[in-house]
Structure 1
Amino acid sequence: MSQDDVVAALIDTQGTLFSEEMGAHVARNTPQELFHWMEGAILLSARIDAALAVQAARALRSGRLHKIDVILATDYWDMVAVLRDNGYRRYDEKTAEYLRETAQWMRDRYQDDLRNMLDDDPMWFSSG
Structure 2
Amino acid sequence: MTARGDGPRDGGKALVKALLDAEGRTYAEEAGIRLRDTPQPLYELLVLAVLLSAPIRGSAAVGAARELFDAGMRDPRRMAGATWQERVDALGRGGYRRYDESTATRLGDGARLVQRDYGGDLRRMRDEAGGDAQALAKSLQKVPGLGPTGAAIFLREVQRVWPGVGPYFGDKALDGARRLGLPDDPDELLRLAGKAEPAVLSAALVRASLDKRTADDL
For normalisation by structure 2, the TM-score amounts to: 0.51
**Aligned residues: percent identity?**
35
1:39 alignment counterpart = 47
Query: Which of 10, 19, 23 is the matching residue for 1:14?
Result: 23
Q: Hey, what's the Cα distance between the residues in 2 that align with 1:124 and 1:108?
A: 22
The answer for unaligned runs of 5 or more in structure 2 is: 1-16, 134-164, 168-218
1:99 alignment counterpart = 107
Q: Is the Cα contact below 8 Å between 1:68 and 1:103 reproduced in 2?
A: yes
2:67 alignment partner AA:
A
The answer for unaligned runs of 5 or more in structure 1 is: 1-8
1:6 alignment counterpart = none
Partner deviation per Cα, 1:28-55 (whole Å, 9 max, x = no partner): 2110000001100110110100001000
Q: Is the Cα contact below 8 Å between 2:31 and 2:66 reproduced in 1?
A: yes
Q: 1:123 to 1:83 in 2, by over 3 A?
A: closer
Q: Hey, what's the Cα distance between the residues in 2 that align with 1:59 and 1:110?
A: 25
Q: Is the Cα contact below 8 Å between 1:11 and 1:17 reproduced in 2?
A: no
Q: Hey, what's the Cα distance between the residues in 1 that align with 2:105 and 2:57?
A: 20
Specify which structure has the bigger relative contact order, considering alpha-carbon pairs within 8 angstroms and separated by 6 or more residues.
2
1:25 alignment partner AA:
R
Q: Hey, what's the Cα distance between the residues in 2 that align with 1:52 and 1:114?
A: 25
Q: Secondary structure at the match of 1:122?
A: coil
How many residues are aligned here? 119
Q: 1:54 to 1:111 in 2, by over 3 A?
A: same
Q: Is the Cα contact below 8 Å between 1:19 and 1:37 reproduced in 2?
A: yes
* Cα drift, residue 98 of structure 1: 0.6
Question: Highest CA radius of gyration, 1 or 2?
Answer: 2
1:18 alignment partner AA:
Y
Provide runs of 4+ in structure 1 moved above 6 Å: none
1:88 aligns with 2:93: no
For normalisation by structure 1, the TM-score amounts to: 0.84
Q: 1:88 to 1:127 in 2, by over 3 A?
A: closer
2:74 alignment counterpart = 66
* Cα drift, residue 102 of structure 1: 0.8
Q: Secondary structure at the match of 1:112?
A: coil
1:117 aligns with 2:118: no
1:25 aligns with 2:34: yes
* Cα drift, residue 69 of structure 1: 1.2
Q: Is the Cα contact below 8 Å between 2:66 and 2:94 reproduced in 1?
A: no
Q: Is the Cα contact below 8 Å between 1:24 and 1:33 reproduced in 2?
A: yes
* Cα drift, residue 23 of structure 1: 1.4
Q: Hey, what's the Cα distance between the residues in 2 that align with 1:100 and 1:50?
A: 21
